[in-house]
Structure 1
Amino acid sequence: MVIAMDKNLRIVCIEDDDILRMGYESILSGVENFIFVNAYASYDLAKKFLEIDNPDVILLDIQMPGTSGLQALPHIKKALPNTSVIILTVFDSSELVFEALTVGASGYLTKDSSSSKIIDAIKEVNSGGGAMSTNVARIVMHSFQKNLNSPLTKRETEILDRIANGQTKPQIANELFIDQETVRSHVKNIYTKLNVNSKYEAIKRAKERRFI
């Protein structure tokens, strides 16, 4: 969808990966009506300058040194209520997606998004719309199709969903920023609630009842 623009858009990027940060600047600086104002390696470095930068759109990573993107979002929205924030990250768990949208993100893209997708997303959120990667949109849609009477908590559902997709406990712990013992504790609770004794039984029963 082509969105007509009647003004220049001021863009700021907060991303700790030097190569990605320079890449976004290179791509976006060449787009008509885009002004790439500034790029920062963390929110902690950016926060004192954001009001001066006065961006229309901020591209924000989640995992950064110091204050994370999710922790930064409420502060950004309080200081710059008219600025749209697009999460741009490698993480696409349902819990992170919904937390980001809840605390003020206007869009959520994964870092494998194409240049054209990022450009379109910036235009989309600036016009009042929402922008999501295909896989993120699928997560959001899937959540509405789940059985609302599930006995599982959001975290248990997230973990079982990841197990069903072939992830190991160490992988789950790493991506959800929790330790492996916590994952094991959640799995034990899942088995108890579903009255099963293995991950295969848990996945089968959860899918049959639309818990995942």
Structure 2
Amino acid sequence: MITLLVVDDHPVVRDGLCGMFAADMEFSVVGEAGDGEEAVRLALKLRPDVVLMDLRMPGMDGVTAIRALAAQGSTSRVLVLTTYDTDSYVMPALSAGATGYLLKDSPRDELLKAVRAAAQGQAVLAPTVVNRLLDQVRTPTPDPLSLRELEVLQLVAAGNTNREAAAHLFISEATVKSHLLSIYAKLGVNDRAAAVAAGFTRGLLRAEPPEN
């Protein structure tokens, strides 16, 4: 039996998902959560095989919750189930450690199959997500980042704020913001998380930077 934690901030959606899985003898819903913080707490306590994770939620969002679970050594597979398939959601979620990414309009049978696959550690991606990833691979290489922009991106990836990055590089916070805007434009993204995800995907960042 596959144990499952359902995470969504809409009670009606949670009820629907819980009812759907409860009707199948192959699954057991062991808990449900309405935000990322509760999801992390329950996932660590209940250790479900799969966490069905929404992304946009009040308080701690889904991507942050996925990162938190990975950081705390959770063995649960996280399958994202959301309405959004844009790059600013897909790449951060996958980079954070999600096993799969599905959309809420997925047919019932497809969702059940995806949870089975996720429980076995198999990657599961909605067709539109696959197409987006392929488009990124086929897209011509953007203007290369300058050395300073790479330094800023590396510091952001390490969790530094703009102020902290400025202090590291002995430049102003405004200059860091300017570099970030240039990075966003060159990588075709809209925010810090997506820039970091694109940096890893395109080989601009290393997953384990060498220690000083």
Q: Per the shorter chain, which TM-score range? A: 0.5 to 0.7
> What SS does structure 1 have at the residue aligned with 2:70?
helix
Residue of 97, 120, 123 corresponding to 1:130: 123
Q: Alpha carbons of 1:72 and 1:62: their partners in 2 closer, same or farther (altered >3 Å)?
A: same
User: How many equivalent residue pairs?
Assistant: 155
Gaps of 5+ in 1: 1-7, 160-175, 179-212
Correspondence 1:100 to 2:113: no
Residue of 63, 73, 98 corresponding to 1:70: 63
Matched letter for residue 12 of structure 1: L
> What SS does structure 2 have at the residue aligned with 1:25?
helix
Tell me the TM-score normalised to structure 2 length. 0.66
Correspondence 1:147 to 2:132: no
Matched letter for residue 89 of structure 2: L
> What SS does structure 2 have at the residue aligned with 1:77?
helix
Query: Could you tell me whether the CA contact under 8 Å between 2:39 and 2:65 is conserved in 1?
Result: no
**Counterpart in the other structure of 1:85:** 78
Matched ranges for 1:1-212 at <5 A = 8-150=1-143, 155-156=184-185, 158=188
Gaps of 5+ in 2: 146-181, 193-212
Query: Could you tell me whether the CA contact under 8 Å between 1:58 and 1:85 is conserved in 2?
Result: yes
Rounded Cα–Cα distance in structure 2 between residues aligned with 1:128 and 1:23: 25
Query: Could you tell me whether the CA contact under 8 Å between 1:86 and 1:107 is conserved in 2?
Result: yes
Q: Alpha carbons of 1:16 and 1:129: their partners in 2 closer, same or farther (altered >3 Å)?
A: same
Identity of aligned residues (%): 23
Deviation of residue 49 (structure 1)? 2.7
**Cα RMSD (Å) of the superposition?**
2.2
Q: Alpha carbons of 1:58 and 1:123: their partners in 2 closer, same or farther (altered >3 Å)?
A: same
Rounded Cα–Cα distance in structure 2 between residues aligned with 1:122 and 1:145: 29
